[in-house]
Amino acid sequence: MTAKIIDGKAAAAEVRARVAGIAAEFARTTGRQPGLATVLVGEDPASAVYVRSKGKATSEAGMASFSHKLPDTTSETELLHLVDQLNRDDNVDGILVQLPLPPQIDASRVIAAIDPAKDVDGFHPMNAGRLATGLEALVPCTPYGCLYLLKQELGSIAGKEAVVIGRSNIVGKPMALLLIGESATVTVAHSRTRDLPDVVRRADIVVAAVGRPEMVKSDWIKPGATVIDVGINRVPTEDSKSRLVGDVDFAGASERAGAITPVPGGVGPMTIAMLLRNTVVAAHRRAG
């Protein structure tokens, strides 16, 4: 079987176009654009690229983008002060503090200081708890994007066997909760899981979010399964350049899967699309 390649760029473009329409309507009725504030602490080049593309996508969707850059010597108190200002700013509907933060700053304290109504990352314990209990929540963007692709591909996922590889607060755990919410039968595998290949072989749906290049091998994939690859790993090539690969051996897995996301061009674009979506949702809820 040769898998269908799931086009995350196209799906993200659709979501972004819908969000732009909602943002325009919000601006027409309220007299202001929905606004997203991004906060980047330090000089990490990958984080800088992510934050810049989030800001660009925000403007392209007709929303206000407020970009805050702080030096890597910033103290936790200084960052908490900025978060407090953004919490109070009525033109800011969403606040995104890019992770990771420098070691002198406790990320969990900063996340907890963000107004849950503006927590467009969905990382605040209030939103995590609301997602876990099935209440209306702001949902973390990457797993939300994965769920969007799965539902687009499969329609209903009720009763399907889903295996999530990875248990992070950003992807694995909220992904599992979203799949439970769709009535899938969910297994969360991680570095201590025994017989991981056999666990993955059961899965109608595989979501790989471990950050290890091409760790998931093709013979682990049940024929016809839907494979969502969250990994973005830069690996060196022979000509001393580098290329991006996912957590799944794409070449092999695409011979067995029913459908699979590529890296790049799969989950990545969906993360930004869902961030924009969360921002218009937060703006609407805040505007009452």
Contact residues for ligand GUN, defined by CB under 6 A: 96-99, 121, 141-142, 170
Q: In the complex with ligand GUN, which residue's Cβ is closer, 38 or 254? A: 38
Query: What gap in Å lies between CA 275 and CA 90, rounded to an integer?
Result: 19
User: What phi, psi does 118 have (nearest 5°)?
Assistant: -110, 5
CA distances for 64 relative to 54, 139, 236, 253, angstroms: 12, 21, 38, 41
CA distance 238 to 220: 27
Q: Is 121 a catalytic residue?
A: yes
Give exposure, 34-58, as e/b (b: 16+ Cβ within 10 Å). Answer: bbbbbbbbbebeebeebbeebbebb
Helix axes 172-181 and 141-154, enclosed angle (nearest 10): 40
Q: Which residues are annotated as a binding site for NADP(+)?
A: 166-168, 232
Residue set of the binding site: 166-168, 232
- Catalytic choice (98, 118, 119, 222): 98
Here the tokens at position 3 are 């898998």
Instruction: Give me the residue whose beta carbon is nearest to ligand GUN.
Output: 99
- Catalytic residue (choose from 33, 54, 119, 204): 54
- The answer to whether the beta carbons of residues 166 and 172 sit under 8 Å apart is yes
Q: Which is nearer to ligand GUN, 142 or 279 (CB)?
A: 142
Q: What is the CA radius of gyration of the chain?
A: 19
Q: Of 4 and 109, which has the nearer Cβ to ligand GUN?
A: 109
Q: Where are the beta strands (DSSP E) in 88-247?
A: 94-97, 161-165, 185-189, 205-208, 226-229, 233-236, 242-245
Of 170 and 225, which CB lies nearer to ligand GUN in the complex structure?
Answer: 170
Nearest residue (CB) to ligand GUN, 131 versus 200: 131
Q: What is d(CA 285, CA 149) in angstroms, rounded to the nearest whole number?
A: 25
Known catalytic residue at 54: yes
Of the residues 93, 115, 119, 121, which is catalytic?
121
Q: What minimum distance in Å lies between the beta carbon of 96 and ligand GUN?
A: 5
The residue among 255, 185, 186 whose CA lies nearest residue 223 is 255
Say if residues 201 and 222 touch (Cβ distance below 8 Å).
yes
The set of catalytic residues is 54, 98, 121
